[in-house]
Amino acid sequence: MCTSTSCARNWAATPASRPCAASATNSWDEYASARRRPGPVSAMMPFTKSLKGRLAVYFAVSIFISLLLSGLLSVGLVQRYLRQKTVADLATQAQTIAGRIESEGLPLRRFTQDLEQVQGVKVIIVPYQDEELSGLPHRGYRGELAELSNRPLPFIDWELLGRGETQTSQVQIPGVEKEAMAAAHAFYVDGQLAGAVIVSKSVSALQPWRPLAGEFLIAALIALAISLLFAVLLARHLSRPLHQITQAAVAVADGDFSKQVTVDSQDEIGRLADAFRFMTGEVQKSQQQQRQFVINVSHELKTPLTAITGHVQALRDGVVEGPEAVGRSLEVISTETDRLNRLIEDLLSLAKFDARQFELRNSSFSLDEVLAAVVEGFSREARERQVELGRTGEAGLELTTDQDRLRQILANLVQNALSHTPAGGKVSIEAAGEGDRARITVSDTGAGISSEDLPHVFDRFYRSQGAAREAGLGLGLAISRELAQAMGGDISARSRPGEGSGFTLTLPLSPGG
């Protein structure tokens, strides 16, 4: 929890909660075994557990489900169409026969039989209230007339038929059809309702797709097999670059950076490959910096330790005699000890930044007090170097941040400026307010920074060619920028060879300050 006096930052969670850390294993095989992964990386993974197998199964199942749904939908649409068309045909046939009865009388039996055989229907002529139908016209057809049905047909709506409408419904006709689609239409004698013609068709006849079900199933299985083959080929095509990236990742983990990832597609896998190549480059850079760091630290530790050891040994052996000689030896020991202390402090700061664990203890204070203290702290060194050190600019600026960290940043900038300013030169600290931010510029009249070195002055361990011995490890500016950014600000640099350099620190002002 942040307060006005303390603000703790912890930017990275510890990996202790992870089930298996790679650092706890010595090889991919051990790590893969701990994670229950097949190893080595080149080994074939079981098809059903591999991405290739799962993609193939997913594709095949998706295609099968699509075929099944489309088949069911097609069957449903065909069934609906056949039902509607059959009902319309039955109604037309019933109306036609009823009209012929009114004009010509009862049809011949062979007519209804032919109609039933050709159309696959059943024709029933029903009298209304058992009338004899004696008033029907008769044209002297030769042959047996169609019979009238005396079966009770309760589904007939005589009231509806009496209005001249056609009745259509799915019904059960006793002794004829268990389930049938039927259409009924009335006929009249002398203007009176005399009966009705019913034309029906079995529901089973409306399902012509059933004999084709086997063929449809065979076609679906063939399509499924073909789709599974294409799915396997597609899955193999998709998983091949992932396998290549995995092999390269294992090689990098073993320290072999020669394994190249050649994937260059424009999809998500291509982006993964680009990210992997970028990561590999950063890992290589980090390892190079680490090796250079070890070399630099070894050198920086060895040099002052050698000087301290030599002077201590001389004092112990009595080689150094006289107060002045002893004083010079003690001064060398003190200077080199201070140098070691600064080196250790920089390394500790660097370790805290890398762990993302450090504290900002915020408080409100006047920037004038901090600048005055920094100038006072370096006044003696400036006099010894014969460099003029002073401060100018706007007064009365108020900040709310970590005062000690701010002093550390300014001390690094001033120390850096003094180190690169020759005798007779000048180092100045200028403060100004710009909107809601404070701008603090430390400038010098030194030799300046070359255009090749300027972009790298804030890089860790970076030292320009020909840097002086007192330049250290090249951590001061890097640590200063990271501190400034953690405090909500930043540092920028400007320089021209022969015209000196300037480093500008910006930080938020206190509210109302």
CATH number of the domain to which 438 belongs:
3.30.565.10
For residue 310, give every residue at least 6 positions away whose Cβ sits within 8 Å of its Cβ, in sequence order, or none. none
What 8-state DSSP symbol labels residue 148?
B
Say if 319 falls within a structural domain.
no
12 lies in some domain: no
Which DSSP string do the residues of 266-291 spell out, in sequence order? Answer: SSHHHHHHHHHHHHHHHHHHHHHHHH
Residue 468 lies in a domain: yes
The amino acid occupying position 62 is S
User: Which residue in 94, 68, 105, 84 sits closest to 166, CA to CA?
Assistant: 94
Type of residue numbered 469: R
- Is residue 300 within 8 A of residue 473, CB to CB? The reply is yes
- CA 239-250-281 angle, to 5 degrees, is 100
- Show which of 172, 207, 242 is a domain's final residue: 207
Q: Which of 186, 207, 228 is the last residue of a domain?
A: 207
The CATH number given to whatever domain includes residue 134 is: 3.30.450
Residue 234 lies in a domain: no
How far is it, in rounded angstroms, from Cα 330 to Cα 289? 35
208 cis-preceded (ω within 30 degrees of 0):
no
Whether residue 316 is contained in a domain is answered as no
CA 103, distance to chain mean position in Å, is 80
Classify strands 426-434 and 388-393 as parallel, antiparallel or unpaired: parallel
For residue 285, is it within any domain?
A: no
Q: Considering the domain boundaries, does residue 271 fall inside one?
A: no
Average pLDDT taken over every residue of the chain: 79
pLDDT at 413: 92
pTM: 0.48
Segments in the chain below pLDDT 70 = 1-52, 130-143, 175-177, 206-213, 299-300, 354-357, 463-474, 512-513
Kindly tell me the sign of the dihedral angle through the C-alpha atoms of 305, 307, 309, 312: negative
CA 166-167-172 angle, to 5 degrees, is 145
Could you give the number of structural domains in the chain? 2
Range of the domain at 509: 359-513
What is the structure's pLDDT at 240? 81
**pLDDT score at 494:** 92
Domain termination site, one of 179, 207, 235: 207
Bridge partners of 184?
167, 198
448 found inside a domain: yes
